[in-house]
């Protein structure tokens, strides 16, 4: 029996560039507020960004050390981001901050903290260290929290209308209102201190998705259209990994895109890998998985992830999810939900990304 999954509305998030589209969340994972769970913590995203590295003027030696650090933490970060509670995630962020502090000089570290403060936006005013530095009084903190909570609530209502020039204008006006209200709460000295903490402007449009070192495929007893493989075996090829289950209507709507990519990139260094992670008991049936793959002409390797090991290792939370990995094994782009949900052009965007990575 076909399932109709709940649809999640598009979310506009400044630092992620991730378009969150129609799809179905795993029942055991709480639906995220605003951005999808796959969006990296802002600090973690920033320390991976070439644009941030350029702003910090990292030396080649510093870049190498930072890559070594992030490669080690990335494979731990993927599963941590989808776990209930934030203890594991925040522990990794703290470990990253400690490691980064050992790599950067004092000026670079100050600038990174400024960029991170800007990325966090007005919610940074509620951080304990910022409260202390600005000497905010308890009454001020309560007012700031109230303003931010109210603006976030209104923002979500606007985002439910969908992405458009009109909603973008409404969101911009809302942020202007937020800033006016906050300046009334903050003294002149506190406003100056806030500006100092934020530092010079930074172009967040240059902070793109990835690169993040992806986890390896986990051991599986069954593969379809393959005797099995590891991601490390696919170095030198662009890899498209998509998580799905055969009874999910959102997943089925993506199948034509995968077939188009398979034809378009035939003979090129591109490998598409399906990860079938079941949602229902019926989707544990290996014969049914094979039959549906054959009838839908999913003629590429499919890992049967019946025990959800690869799903958990990747911190995946949604059917379907598509990940594009470069020739060196780094995640460069991803899409959660239907690729062409409500007029979105995810199929084309992902195809263009694959083509760009082939040229690297």
What is the C-alpha radius of gyration for the chain, rounded to an integer number of angstroms?
22
DSSP designation for 278 = -
Confidence of residue 296 (pLDDT cuts 50, 70, 90): very high
Q: Find the mean pLDDT for residues 262-268.
A: 97
Q: What is the pLDDT of residues 110-137, one digit of tens each?
A: 999 999 999 988 999 999 999 999 999 9
pLDDT of 247 over the 90 cut: yes
Q: Which tokens belong to 331?
A: 């995640």
Predicted pLDDT at 1: 37
Distance of CA 44 to the CA centre of its chain: 11
pLDDT of 348 over the 70 cut: yes
CA–CA gap between residue 84 and residue 328 (Å, rounded): 31
Confidence of residue 207 (pLDDT cuts 50, 70, 90): confident
Confidence of residue 34 (pLDDT cuts 50, 70, 90): very low
Q: What is the pLDDT of residues 307-344, one digit of tens each?
A: 999 999 999 989 999 999 999 999 999 999 999 988 88
| CA 2 vs CA 181, 249, 252: distances in Å | 49, 7, 10
Q: What percent of the chain is helix, strand and coil (3-state, nearest 5)?
A: 55, 10, 35
Q: Parallel, antiparallel, or unpaired: how do β-strands 321-325 and 24-25 relate?
A: unpaired
Please check whether residue 302 is in contact with residue 225, taking contact to mean a CB–CB distance below 8 angstroms: yes
Domains and CATH numbers, the chain: 30-206 (no CATH), 212-358 (3.40.30.10)
Average pLDDT, the chain: 87
Q: What is the pLDDT of residues 37-78, one digit of tens each?
A: 344 578 988 999 999 999 999 999 999 999 999 999 999 999
Say which residue, 81 or 354, is predicted with more confidence: 354
Q: Considering only CA atoms, which of 345, 360, 355, 339 is closest in space to residue 22?
A: 339
Predicted pLDDT at 24: 53
Q: Considering only CA atoms, which of 139, 118, 141, 295 is closest in space to residue 224?
A: 295
Give the pTM.
Answer: 0.78
Q: Considering only CA atoms, which of 211, 203, 207 is closest in space to residue 360?
A: 211
**Dihedral sign (CA 20, 22, 27, 33):** positive
**Percentage of the chain exceeding pLDDT 70:** 88
pLDDT of 167 over the 80 cut: yes
pLDDT of 28 over the 60 cut: no
């Amino acid at each position: 029996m076909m399932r109709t999954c709940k649809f999640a509305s598009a979310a506009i998030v400044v630092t992620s560039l991730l378009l969150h589209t129609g799809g179905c969340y795993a029942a055991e994972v709480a639906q995220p507020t605003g951005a999808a769970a796959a969006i990296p913590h802002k600090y973690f995203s920033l320390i991976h960004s070439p644009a941030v590295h350029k702003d910090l003027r990292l030396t080649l030696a510093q870049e190498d050390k930072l890559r070594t650090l992030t490669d080690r933490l990335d494979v731990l970060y993927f599963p941590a981001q989808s776990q209930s509670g934030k203890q594991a995630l925040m522990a990794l962020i703290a470990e990253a901050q400690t490691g980064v502090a050992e790599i950067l000089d004092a000026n670079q570290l100050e600038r990174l903290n400024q960029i991170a403060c800007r990325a966090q936006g007005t919610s940074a005013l509620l951080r304990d260290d910022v409260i202390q530095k600005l000497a905010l009084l308890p009454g001020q903190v309560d007012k700031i929290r109230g303003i931010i909570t109210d603006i976030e609530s209104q923002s979500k209502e606007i985002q439910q209308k969908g992405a458009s020039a009109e909603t973008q204008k409404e969101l911009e006006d809302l942020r202007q209102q937020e800033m006016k209200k906050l300046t009334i709460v903050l003294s002149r000295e506190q406003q100056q201190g806030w500006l100092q903490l934020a530092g010079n402007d930074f172009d967040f449009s240059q902070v793109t998705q990835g690169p993040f070192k992806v986890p390896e495929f986990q051991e599986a007893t069954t593969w379809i259209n393959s005797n099995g493989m590891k991601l490390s075996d696919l170095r030198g090829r662009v890899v498209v990994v998509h998580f799905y289950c055969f009874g999910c209507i959102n997943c089925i709507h993506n199948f034509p895109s995968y077939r188009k990519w398979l034809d378009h990139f035939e003979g090129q260094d591109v490998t598409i890998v399906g990860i079938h992670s079941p949602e229902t008991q019926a989707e544990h049936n290996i014969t049914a998985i094979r039959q549906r793959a054959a009838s839908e002409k999913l003629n590429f390797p499919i890992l049967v992830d019946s025990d959800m090991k690869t799903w958990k290792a990747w911190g995946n939370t949604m059917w379907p999810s598509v990940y594009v990995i470069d020739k060196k094994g780094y995640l460069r782009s991803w899409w959660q939900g239907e690729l062409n949900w409500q007029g979105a052009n995810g199929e084309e965007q992902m195809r263009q990304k694959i083509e760009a990575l082939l040229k690297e």
